[in-house]
Amino acid sequence: MLARILSAALRGVEAALVRVEVDVSSGLPAFMTVGLPDSAVRESRERVRTAIRNAGFPFPSDRITVNLAPADLRKEGAAFDLPIALGILAATGLLKPRDEPFVVVGELALDGQIQPVRGTLAVVLACRRRGITTVLVPAGNRTEAGAVGGVRPLGAATLREAVALLNGETEETPPPAAPVVDAAIDDVDFTDVRGQAHAKRALEIAAGGGHNVLLVGPPGGGKTMLARRLPTILPPLGSDEAIDVTTIWSVTGLLPSRTALVRHRPFRAPHHTISVAGLVGGGSPPHPGEVTLAHLGVLFMDELPEFAQHVLESLRQPLEDGRVTIARASGIADFPARFQLVGAANPCRRGCASLDLCVCTPAERSRYLGRLSRPLLDRIDLQVELPAVTHTELSTPPGDTSAVVRQRVEAARDRQRRRLRGAIRVNADLSARQIRRVCVVPGDAERLLGAAMSQLGLSARGHDRVLKVARTIADLEGTDSITAEHCAEALQYRGLDRRWRP
């Protein structure tokens, strides 16, 4: 007899529906899987056979053929165990047919327990797109699956429970209320950082318009400290954004079990020994990298010049497009990567306190910051030089708390959202055409920008980026018109490499 169960395969950070067809017919006992399965899926035969027996069901001693369709989509992982097992039970009449379609994912342990799988939220979103309203998931993924409306998730902890639920013999017991992950921002606040008013202002602007920042300064001045506090002044994720981020976490297995939606912005801080594949994604089949894990959040690259040159250059495409496209023989993967880059660096290899006190030769200095190429620096809107902190500054009263700064940031972002009313939400993402429309500057500001272009050697991209920062500064001030003062402040954050690399 032939049975069909719907399941889903992950492709990048999305899921595609897969038909699991199981045929049980008389013949010599055999168990075959066809339809481009990877080794984990082929191994699932042994898990399925043992789990069915240990769950107390008879395992047919006939010829079993399992086909995963469409055949041209590569299927990886162990999430097909449960649909294959249910397919066999349906083909032998132990699972009753249901009228409405439903989707099943889950990995089986040998004793018939159902283990959580990666990407459940992506599967639920695929069901919603296809109008399928019921999805059976491992109990450990039940909370995550319930994070979006429109689909009714059923959670089962064992194969027996799954069969009973689908046969309508038992009702599902709803899980306890879901925790929302908000704990990632640990106990840190802007007020921890003393002095460094200029750098704090730059981070407020960065948060206000989603701009990339580079913090350059002597060791022990608070660069790492400041960067780690950027998430505390960023607004929480909107509901669509929360679904996007949670899906990525779910697909990559980062989502803590029994979690509904991730509400805080991701903060990723990869070590400088990371590879290109680790940073932007890669492998076969392609897996997402740190830039995707930082989607809609912060990618913090401490000691930026220490990253390998080709690793730094691989950032250029995601920084420009907000996406990463990876082509492999097994197919093309397209990963979202709209993140805010925060880089930190010492201005020279020895970490001298300031340009005046620097004992490195000009050639050494030039070589060190020279590892950051012009095209990369061009994409960093705010380049901030931090002085060493003085003793007096350490005992001065702290400035505004993160909560106060965040309110100003949120107000500035509201202005941008109202003005842009589209897919783009922050000034940093403005296209060239939008810049012409929303960053109109008066004549004196235009002259200032012209002079700066020649003095700082600003490229056309650099010019546009200064305009975006000026737009954000005006938004933080709560005004629609950009003035020469706004442009002058924006220009202060350019040309750092010119000073340190004569």
Ligand X SMILES: Nc1ncnc2c1ncn2[C@@H]1O[C@H](COP(=O)(O)OP(=O)(O)OP(=O)(O)O)[C@@H](O)[C@H]1O
The listed partner (ligand X, Mg ion, none) that binds 222, CB under 5 to 8 Å by sort, is ligand X
Interaction residues for Mg ion, span 3-22 (CB under 5 A):
none
Residue count at the site for ligand X (CB under 6 A)?
Answer: 15
Return the range that interacts with Mg ion (CB under 5 A); candidates 53-61, 134-142, 222-230, 355-363: 222-230
Q: Does 225 bind ligand X (CB under 6 A)?
A: yes
Smallest distance from ligand X to CB 199, Å: 9
Q: In what order do the strands lie in the sheet with 63-69?
A: 30-34, 63-69, 14-25, 2-11, 102-104, 134-138, 152-156
Output the smallest distance, CB 33 to ligand X, in A. 52
Lay out the site mask for ligand X across 149-188 (x = CB under 6 A, - = otherwise). ----------------------------------------
Name the one residue in this structure whose structure tokens are 């595609």: 16
Q: Look up tokens 């200029």; give the residue.
A: 198
Structure tokens at 42: 């082929």
25 touches 62 (CB < 8 A):
yes
Phi first, then psi, for residue 436 (nearest 5°) are -60, -30
Of the candidates 10, 79, 166, 193, which one interacts with ligand X according to CB under 6 A?
Answer: 193
Window of 93-101, 223-231, 408-416, 494-502 that interacts with Mg ion by CB under 5 A? 223-231
**Residue 224 engages Mg ion in binding (rule: CB under 5 A):** yes
Q: Which of 224/401 has CB closer to Mg ion?
A: 224
> Under the criterion CB under 5 A, does residue 407 sit at the interface with Mg ion?
no
Dihedral of alpha carbons 355, 360, 363, 367, sign: negative
Residue among 148 and 304 whose Cβ is closer to Mg ion: 304
Among ligand X, Mg ion, none, what does residue 221 contact (CB within 5–8 Å per kind)?
ligand X
Q: How far is the CB of 375 from Mg ion (least distance, A)?
A: 25
Q: Cα–Cα–Cα angle for 404, 407, 411, nearest 5°?
A: 150
Q: Which of 49, 194, 264, 415 binds ligand X (CB under 6 A)?
A: 194
Nearest C-alpha neighbor of 223 from the set 300, 133, 318, 123: 300
Query: Which of 4, 30, 2, 13 lies closest to 295 in space, CA to CA?
Result: 13
Closest contact distance (angstroms) between CB of 88 and ligand X is 57
Q: By C-alpha distance, which of 349, 372, 336 is closest to 12?
A: 336
- Tell which one of 180, 188, 389, 424 touches ligand X (CB under 6 A): 389
The amino acid occupying position 208 is G
**Angle of helix 443-455 versus helix 460-477 axis, rounded to 10:** 140
What residues from 204 to 223 belong to the interface with ligand X (CB under 6 A)? 217, 219-223
201 makes contact with ligand X (CB under 6 A):
no
Q: CA distances (Å), 355 to each of 351, 483, 499, in order? A: 10, 32, 9
CB atoms under 10 Å from CB of 495, counted, come to: 17
Angle of CA points 40, 15, 51, to nearest 5°: 35
**Residue 44 binding: pick among Mg ion, ligand X, none (C-beta 5-8 Å cut-off by kind):** none
Binding mask 338-357 for ligand X (x = CB under 6 A): ------x-x-----------
Q: Which residue has the tokens 């500064």?
A: 473
Cβ–Cβ < 8 Å for 18, 73: yes
Range in contact with Mg ion (rule: CB under 5 A) among 42-50, 57-65, 218-226, 360-368: 218-226
Of 220 and 478, which CB lies nearer to ligand X in the complex structure?
A: 220
In the list Mg ion, ligand X, none, the entry touching 220 (Cβ below 5 to 8 angstroms by class) is ligand X
Instruction: Residue 196: name its binding partner from Mg ion, ligand X, none (Cβ under 5 to 8 Å by kind).
Output: ligand X
For position 402 contacting ligand X by CB under 6 A, the verdict is no
Nearest to ligand X of 116, 218 (CB atom): 218
Nearest approach in angstroms of CB 192 to ligand X is: 6
The string of DSSP letters for 432-471 reads HHHHHHH----HHHHHHHHHHHHHTT--HHHHHHHHHHHH
Nearest CA to 125 among 140, 106, 144? 144
Q: Does 229 bind ligand X (CB under 6 A)?
A: no
Residue 393: CB minimum distance to ligand X, A = 7
Residue 54, judged by CB atoms within 10 A of its CB (0-12, 13-18, 19+), counts as middle
Q: Which does 406 bind (CB under 5 to 8 A by kind): Mg ion, ligand X, none?
A: none
Binding site for ligand X (CB under 6 A): 193-196, 217, 219-225, 344, 346, 389
Residues within the interface to Mg ion (CB under 5 A): 224
